[in-house]
Amino acid sequence: MRLYLAVFALLAAVHCEELLNGDQVLRIQAESEDHIQVLKELEKNVDWGLDFWTHGFSIERPVDIRVPDTSLFAFKDFLRDNNITFTVMINNVQELLDRERAEMVMNAEKKYKTKGFNFAAYHNLETIYSFMDSLVASHPDLITKVKIGSTYEDRPMYALKFSTGGEKRPAVWIDAGIHAREWVSHASAVWIADRIALDFKDNRAPVPSILSKMDIFLMIVANPDGYVFSHLTERPIHRLWRKSRSVTSNPKCLGVDLNRNWDAEFSGPGASDDPCGEDYRGPSAQSEIEVKNIADFIMSHGNFKSFMSLHAYSQLLMYPYGFNGTNAPDQPELHEVATQASKALNSWHGTIYKVGSIFHTIEQASGASVDWAYQRGIKYSFAFELRDTGKYGFLLPADQIVSTARETWLALKYIMQYVCEHPY
């Protein structure tokens, strides 16, 4: 009996540890340089198991951190002892995870009954890839599926090419999901792929005129291995996976932050050299096959005029640079384009976006894709952080997918049209 109880207690303990019951996301606001120094030390502290949902300590903007239930008491005490202000953004992370999972099960049943594609649901890689095949099959004159390489775990990486013909026309690149846990970016890209096809078929401006001059390449899942991992349900924590899945120099910590691995001021400030860090940059620029595949594809194509990357969350529309605070040579124009695009986005649901350089709106980041694209001569390079501003963070309810996609589409359309009208 005693043995039975001991085993039961052990199983219960393991089970509790795996769930994120009681984990909270705290929003922390530094108000002085001293606070910033204290908070920077936190990033090196592995004992508390902190998970940074946003990065970059500054007195201008707060940082969101998921704090495991077991560290919560001590961590809040630590903040109070240092007079650092915080608010609870998410009271119980597990509750949101449970809700999301229940929604997915319900949506899967619905799909089974109706056989239609549900855009208001999160889908796994297999479903997204089969959606891409159906879309290509329905619009064979417009869309082709281009395999640009394979991932570390040997999954294919696909971009959808929307083209009305011509050889290596000027082109727009759009990717989503380079960070695995930012599910609303993949889901929005799915809706946007369908919308491009429908607008072309229905002759709805400005898509036909854009596609008469340019091609659009849309990569819905830029980090397939990470995305598959984020769908594994045996441990809820997998849902919050950000990086790739490659082996690093530390056997305990897998994965590289694919948006710190580009050959753009690689290894500068704003990326971690610790394989256990959420923003680990990798051993060398483009060491990650996923980054190399995209970079090689874009360079060998040679005629991309715009590069856009969809992330979540924070509601930001950003342009280079991320690696430092200097203005990009095209800063005034990029700022104006981003401002007008964010106005277009706002016109649908009133969602407010902040516009600026990556460095000035979110954080210093070296080795980021948008800086890389800009430095390779792709002037109209932008990064989006989609909804929300932190109420749900990465766990945005699926009933917000379509409205998020729809408003994002207005901004993308504005930018693509602008690029068309401003050849260079």
**Chain positions contacting Zn ion, by CB under 5 A:** 179, 311
CA distance 357 to 72: 34
Residue whose CB is less far from Zn ion, 35 or 311? 311
Q: Is 290 a catalytic residue?
A: no
DSSP bridge pairs for 80: none
Omega before 206 within 30 of 0, i.e. cis = yes
Query: Cα–Cα distance between 55 and 118 in angstroms, integer?
Result: 33
If DSSP codes are grouped into helix, strand and coil, which group holds residue 359?
A: helix
Minimum distance, C-beta of residue 271 to Zn ion, in the bound complex (Å): 13
Nearer to Zn ion, 179 or 413 (CB): 179
Q: How many CB atoms lie within 10 A of CB 300?
A: 9
**Which 3 state secondary structure label does DSSP give 383?**
strand
CA distance 318 to 338: 7
Beta bridge partners of 384: 310, 317
CB 368 → Zn ion: shortest distance, Å? 10
The per-residue DSSP string of 95-160 comes to: HHHHHHHHHHHHHHHHHHHH-S--TTS---HHHHHHHHHHHHHH-TTTEEEEEEEE-TT--EEEEE
Given 278, 363, 385, 407, which residue is catalytic? 385
- Please identify, using beta-carbon distances, which residue of 35 and 179 lies nearer to Zn ion: 179
Residue 395 gets which letter from DSSP?
G
CA dist 104 to 229, 306, 325, Å?
Answer: 16, 34, 41
Number of helices followed by number of strands (H, E) in the chain: 13, 12
* Rounded-to-integer distance, Cα 336 and Cα 393, Å: 28
Nearer to Zn ion by C-beta: 75 or 384?
384
Instruction: Please give the Cα distance from 262 to 277 (Å, whole number).
Output: 17
Minimum CB separation of residue 74 from Zn ion in Å reads 29
Q: Where are the alpha helices (DSSP H) in 350-400?
A: 358-361, 369-375
Residue 179 or 379 having the CB closest to Zn ion: 179
Residue 240 or residue 420: which is nearer to Zn ion going by CB? Answer: 240
Beta carbon nearer to Zn ion, 27 or 242: 242
Amino acid occupying residue 328:
A
Tokens of 196: 């491009």
Closer by beta carbon to Zn ion, 236 or else 393: 393
Helix 401-421 crosses helix 331-349 at what angle (to 10 degrees)? 140
CB of 311 to Zn ion, least distance (A): 3
The angle subtended at Cα 174 by Cα 171 and Cα 175, nearest 5°, is 140
Distance CA 199, CA 135 (A): 13
- Which of 359, 367, 363, 411 has its CA nearest to residue 386? 411
In the complex, what is the shortest distance from the CB of residue 182 to Zn ion, in angstroms, rounded to a whole number?
5
CB of 186 to Zn ion, least distance (A): 11
- Rounded to a whole number of angstroms, the minimum distance from the CB of residue 207 to Zn ion is 27
Q: Which residues have a catalytic role annotated? A: 385
